[in-house]
């Protein structure tokens, strides 16, 4: 028998996900001898056997992966790296035609002590995962030793990223280090044939974490915590429940008084809540669930998914997501969640109930005082949330890194689901970038993201560690959270940045953070303009290197120099709608929306009626300001401000134009949460969109917008002609049906205008690749309508799917723009605001 010795280095998410026992069993099935171990790069496999068996092993290794495993690279190892001497016993057994023997080697000590030895780490941290079906069956089986144990898990599910302090992923480096395994759990942990072999969070009721229920004074509540929690939810109380990546505030979604109480205490008058139900059969009462959405809800990531509401839902769960056409829904993803629904179903002994509609519907919202970081610590929860929650369902397994629920928009048969917020289940899974052509490829690059919806991106070569949602950097807590993630990734991967990338806004805390790192480490700092980063993030997702036309539409972006390109707008412009040419050199400003006055400055972002007043003034209809907005005491003064241009900075924000339209149609006059007016405008348009013979749509079949030019901007898009018609068509009083018609008509006019704008730029540049980005493209009528329109005209159109289209991807875009730039040049120090 001819046999071979071969070794393989496996990179990817291959630690803590059942990969080594999978390799162990697969090798035996393929009649291969050898061993497997973790190391700082991932997993190393040594094989000895017939070539055909080794080839079969590698084929099945890639096609039969465990639930959470992901292979990014399989690299053959040269013989001199295989330590043949330690492999002699295996070789002898193969020589003597003995049955295949395979072992799981311990992690080499120099790797286990990587932090002390400055050993490079590039294995990947697995995101947290929802409870798998096998563990759920054991959890709900009265005959199982782990029946109703709230922390059941295995190598296919449970906490990962949020409990890891260091790599490699072994129990002593997690927050489970303080829980010594009992004899039974240790036996599972040590058995390669067991599903819990080297499951680091493995535990049971004898040796593992425990639940407790406290009131908001910190006093324990007697009785079974799950039973007592459900009873209090049914009584209309608000519970703070500790989960995987942080606490949730929870109440009964069917109890309007409880929902109203939660809104009042959290100072959240209208922002929509997400709800959790036992299964898709329960959710179908409230929203439309297609097969792809059902699969997404049941996936290891288990995100919140925005789904289309069923008709008449407002009458049944009033107060959860009023005035919107979508509802965020999710399924249970931790044992605690499943136990609550199991308790509500009467603790059935069989699993039939899992596919039957259940009555319990829970509001699940992030447990944080408005705008502040998610609460993760027990004492912190009671201190910060006792004025919101009546009771606290706690446990003693610490959360090391906060990670909020991910949020996606449901896909359709034609469109995939779309990421809005990156979080639990997705972060910190890496993004892989094209290899650079020069030695800059090995540089570690840190991108510090944007002011709003901050994230950071930290690369090792082609691998970019893309963080979870951090939040707006307008509070100290989120600024510290950003630094916390930076420190955690630096520690876990034993890396330090060689270059740092920042936004171009001089006052952003993210820029100041980048400046501090640049100065402390004496490394170059590059700056990438906000909209440039938006477009580069799309390019990163689709691995584009060729020049593109970028259309960025959002609320606000600071203009200025981006890398080494100076052909941009006024360095202090407040840009919200911009057309760019983006390539490896940087970005070139092609045009923007015609600026409008922003009466009251930042106050206009919270008061759509102010932007409507600006539109009325700019179209020669200022006499309508007082009559339309007579309920607002500042209406008369706002007219004076516009006439005298007092505190009326100019803005080209597309977001503010959606506000203006929503106000003129009397859909929303005041924003109580970000994009409330725009969201309600889209909901109104969606109600009319299904009517193909829409009266409003037929009134103006072609775009009314004008495209003009100036010395600094070849293409300026003026949307005021659209508003001229809208103003005349919306004289109060206006019926709801007419609101819906005009909302849909406005969207169609925008799509036509934006398409013409892109066509004009394409004719000048010869570029047919178009990237769309910015928060306004969360509007699905706009995003899908414009994408389809441009595709019909022969353009290649790229919209973000896997990464947020809003500012949540700015850090990824900054990193990608910098790497494209570094592919051509050596890094240099770029002067930033504050440098001397």
Q: For position 506, which CATH number holds? A: 3.30.420.360
| Statement to judge: residues 445 and 385 lie in one domain | no
Buried/exposed code over 557-571 (b: 16+ C-beta within 10 A; e: otherwise): bbbbbbbebeebbee
| Statement to judge: residues 372 and 242 lie in one domain | yes
Of the ranges 559-573, 604-618, 747-761, 799-813, which one carries the lowest mean pLDDT score? 559-573
CA dist 660 and 669 (Å) reads 9
Whether the pLDDT of residue 209 is over 70: the answer is yes
Around Cβ 87, how many Cβ atoms within 10 Å?
A: 18
Q: What is the CATH number of the domain that holds 256?
A: 3.90.870.40
Pairing between β-strand 574-583 and β-strand 548-558 as defined by DSSP bridges: antiparallel
In a domain, 112, yes or no: yes
| Statement to judge: residues 402 and 434 lie in one domain | no
What band does 574 get if pLDDT is binned at 50, 70 and 90? low
CA dist 338 and 298 (Å) reads 13
pLDDT at res. 494:
87
| Statement to judge: residues 399 and 434 lie in one domain | no
Whether the pLDDT of residue 836 is over 50: the answer is no
In a domain, 575, yes or no: no
What band does 91 get if pLDDT is binned at 50, 70 and 90? confident
In a domain, 170, yes or no: no
CA 621 to chain CA centroid, Å, is 42
Contact 185, 202 (CB under 8 A): yes
Q: Which of 308, 311, 312 is CA-nearest to residue 327?
A: 308
pLDDT tens sequence across 447-503: 999 999 999 999 988 889 999 999 999 999 999 999 999 999 999 888 999 999 999
In a domain, 416, yes or no: no
Q: Catalytic amino acids?
A: 20, 38
CA 455 to chain CA centroid, Å, is 9
pLDDT tens sequence across 795-821: 999 999 999 999 999 999 999 999 999
Last residue of a domain, one of 77, 98, 117: 117
Whether the pLDDT of residue 547 is over 80: the answer is yes
Distances (CA, A) of 638 to 217, 604, 651, 670, 676: 48, 10, 16, 15, 22
Distances (CA, A) of 503 to 284, 464, 681, 813, 814: 43, 18, 31, 10, 8
Q: Which one is predicted more confidently, 572 or 548?
A: 548
| Statement to judge: residues 700 and 661 lie in one domain | yes
Of the ranges 432-436, 454-458, 734-738, which one carries the lowest mean pLDDT score? 432-436
Pairing between β-strand 239-242 and β-strand 247-252 as defined by DSSP bridges: antiparallel
| Statement to judge: residues 274 and 231 lie in one domain | yes
What band does 564 get if pLDDT is binned at 50, 70 and 90? very low
Radius of gyration, CA atoms only, the chain: 28
Whether the pLDDT of residue 74 is over 90: the answer is yes
Averaged over 252-259, what is the pLDDT?
A: 97
How many H helices and E strands in the chain? 27, 30
Half-sphere exposure of 287 (CA within 13 A, CB side): 28
Q: Which one is predicted more confidently, 786 or 311?
A: 786
pLDDT tens sequence across 356-373: 999 999 999 999 987 889
Averaged over 161-188, what is the pLDDT?
A: 93
Contact 452, 807 (CB under 8 A): yes
Whether the pLDDT of residue 726 is over 50: the answer is yes
Q: What is the CATH number of the domain that holds 48?
A: 3.30.70.100
Last residue of a domain, one of 117, 132, 163: 117
Q: Which one is predicted more confidently, 310 or 248?
A: 248
Contact 247, 367 (CB under 8 A): yes
pLDDT at res. 170:
85
Q: Which helix (H) or strand (E) holds 717?
A: strand 716-718
In a domain, 315, yes or no: yes
Last residue of a domain, one of 354, 377, 409: 409
| Statement to judge: residues 513 and 437 lie in one domain | yes
CA dist 776 and 655 (Å) reads 6
Q: Which of 562, 725, 574 is CA-nearest to residue 649?
A: 574
In a domain, 748, yes or no: yes
| 3-class DSSP assignment, residue 502 | strand
In a domain, 488, yes or no: yes
pLDDT at res. 656:
95
pLDDT at res. 832:
30
The whole domain housing 297 covers 211-409
Q: What is the CATH number of the domain that holds 734?
A: 3.30.420.40
| Statement to judge: residues 742 and 794 lie in one domain | yes
Within 272-361, residue ranges assigned H as helices are 280-283, 291-297, 335-344
Whether the pLDDT of residue 700 is over 80: the answer is no
What band does 571 get if pLDDT is binned at 50, 70 and 90? very low
| Statement to judge: residues 382 and 356 lie in one domain | yes
| Statement to judge: residues 371 and 483 lie in one domain | no
Of the ranges 92-106, 156-170, 236-250, which one carries the lowest mean pLDDT score? 92-106
In a domain, 152, yes or no: no
| 3-class DSSP assignment, residue 465 | strand
Q: Which two tokens stand for residue 830?
A: 């770029």
Q: Which one is predicted more confidently, 580 or 557?
A: 580
Total count of residues recorded for the chain: 836
| Statement to judge: residues 405 and 437 lie in one domain | no
Mean of pLDDT over the chain: 91
What band does 440 get if pLDDT is binned at 50, 70 and 90? confident
What band does 583 get if pLDDT is binned at 50, 70 and 90? very high
Report CA torsion sign: 644, 645, 648, 652.
Answer: positive
Percent of the chain residues topping a pLDDT of 70: 92
Tokens 């409990």 -> residue:
163
| Statement to judge: residues 100 and 225 lie in one domain | no
Distances (CA, A) of 383 to 230, 246, 271, 380: 23, 15, 24, 5
Around Cβ 268, how many Cβ atoms within 10 Å?
A: 16
Percent of the chain residues topping a pLDDT of 90: 77
Q: Number of folded domains in the chain? A: 4
What band does 829 get if pLDDT is binned at 50, 70 and 90? very low
pLDDT at res. 559:
43
pLDDT at res. 572:
47
């Amino acid at each position: 028998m001819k046999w071979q010795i071969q070794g393989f280095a496996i990179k990817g998410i291959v630690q803590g996900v059942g990969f080594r026992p999978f390799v162990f069993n697969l090798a035996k099935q393929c009649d291969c001898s050898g061993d497997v171990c973790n190391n700082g790069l991932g997993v190393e496999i040594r094989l000895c056997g017939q070539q055909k068996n080794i080839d079969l092993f590698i084929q099945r290794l890639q096609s039969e992966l465990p639930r959470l495993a992901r292979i990014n690279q399989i690299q053959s190892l040269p013989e001199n790296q295989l330590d043949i001497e330690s492999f002699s016993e295996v070789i002898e057994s193969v020589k003597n035609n003995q049955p295949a023997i395979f072992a799981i080697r311990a992690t080499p000590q120099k790797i286990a002590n990587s932090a002390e030895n400055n050993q490079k780490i590039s294995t990947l941290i697995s995101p947290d995962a929802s409870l798998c079906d096998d563990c759920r069956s054991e959890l709900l089986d009265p005959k199982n030793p782990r029946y109703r144990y709230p922390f059941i898990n295995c190598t296919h599910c449970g906490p990962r990223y949020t409990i890891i302090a260091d790599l490699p992923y072994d129990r002593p480096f997690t927050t489970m280090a303080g829980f010594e395994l009992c004899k039974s759990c240790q036996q599972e942990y040590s058995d390669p044939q067991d599903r819990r072999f080297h499951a680091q969070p493995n535990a049971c009721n004898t040796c593992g974490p425990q639940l407790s229920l406290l009131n908001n004074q910190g006093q324990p509540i007697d009785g079974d915590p799950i039973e007592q929690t459900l009873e209090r939810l049914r009584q209309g109380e608000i519970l703070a429940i500790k989960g995987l990546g942080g606490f949730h505030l929870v109440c009964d979604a069917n109890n309007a008084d409880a929902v109203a109480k939660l809104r009042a205490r959290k100072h959240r008058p209208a922002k929509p809540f997400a709800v959790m139900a036992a299964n898709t059969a329960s959710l179908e009462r409230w929203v439309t669930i297609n097969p792809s959405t059902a699969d997404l809800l049941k996936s290891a990531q288990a995100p919140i998914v925005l789904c289309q509401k069923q008709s008449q839902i407002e009458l049944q769960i009033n107060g959860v997501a009023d005035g919107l056409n979508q509802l965020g829904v999710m399924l249970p993803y931790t044992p605690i969640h499943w136990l609550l629904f199991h308790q509500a179903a009467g603790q059935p002994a069989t699993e039939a109930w899992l596919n039957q509609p259940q009555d319990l519907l829970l509001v699940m919202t992030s447990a944080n005082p408005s705008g502040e970081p998610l609460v993760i610590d027990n004492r912190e929860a009671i201190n910060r949330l006792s004025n919101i929650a009546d009771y606290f369902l706690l446990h003693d397994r610490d959360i090391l890194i906060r990670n909020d629920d991910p949020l996606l928009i449901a896909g359709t048969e034609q469109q995939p689901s779309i990421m809005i917020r990156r979080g639990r289940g997705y972060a910190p899974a890496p993004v892989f970038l094209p290899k650079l052509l020069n030695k800059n490829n090995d540089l570690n690059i840190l991108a510090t993201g944007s002011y709003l919806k901050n994230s950071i991106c930290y690369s090792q070569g082609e691998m970019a560690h893309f963080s979870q949602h951090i939040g707006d950097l307008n509070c100290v807590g989120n600024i510290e959270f950003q630094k916390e993630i930076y420190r955690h990734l630096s520690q876990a991967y034993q890396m330090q940045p060689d270059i740092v990338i920042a936004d171009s806004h001089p006052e952003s805390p993210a820029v100041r953070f980048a400046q501090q790192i640049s100065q402390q480490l004496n490394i170059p700092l590059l700056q990438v303009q906000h909209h440039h980063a938006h477009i580069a993030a799309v390019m990163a997702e689709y691995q584009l290197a060729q020049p593109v036309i970028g259309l960025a539409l959002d609320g606000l972006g600071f203009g200025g120099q981006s890398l080494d390109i100076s052909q941009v707008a006024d360095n202090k412009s407040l840009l919200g709608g911009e057309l760019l040419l983006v390539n490896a050199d940087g970005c070139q400003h092609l045009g923007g929306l015609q600026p409008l006055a922003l009466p009251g400055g930042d106050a206009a972002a919270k008061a759509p009626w102010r932007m409507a007043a600006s539109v009325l003034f700019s179209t020669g209809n200022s006499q309508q300001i007082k009559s339309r907005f007579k309920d607002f005491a500042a209406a008369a003064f706002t007219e004076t401000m516009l006439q005298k241009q007092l505190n009326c900075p100019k803005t080209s924000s597309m977001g503010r134009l959606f506000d203006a339209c929503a106000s003129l149609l009397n859909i929303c006059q005041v924003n109580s949460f970000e994009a409330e007016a725009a969201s309600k405008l889209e909901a109104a348009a969606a109600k009319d969109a299904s009517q193909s013979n829409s009266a409003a749509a037929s009134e103006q079949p072609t775009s009314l917008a004008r495209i003009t030019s100036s010395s600094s901007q070849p293409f300026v898009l003026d949307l005021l002609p659209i508003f001229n018609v809208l103003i005349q068509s919306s004289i109060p009083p206006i019926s709801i049906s007419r609101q819906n018609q005009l909302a849909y008509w406005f969207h169609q006019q925008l799509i036509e205008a934006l398409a013409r704008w892109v066509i004009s730029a394409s004719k000048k540049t010869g570029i047919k690749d178009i990237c769309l980005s910015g928060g306004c493209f969360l509007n699905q009528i706009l995003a899908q309508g414009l994408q389809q329109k441009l595709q019909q005209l022969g353009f290649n159109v790229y919209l973000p799917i896997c990464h947020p289209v809003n500012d949540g991807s700015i850090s990824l875009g900054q990193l990608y723009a910098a790497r494209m730039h570094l592919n051509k040049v050596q890094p240099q120090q770029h002067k930033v605001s504050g440098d001397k």
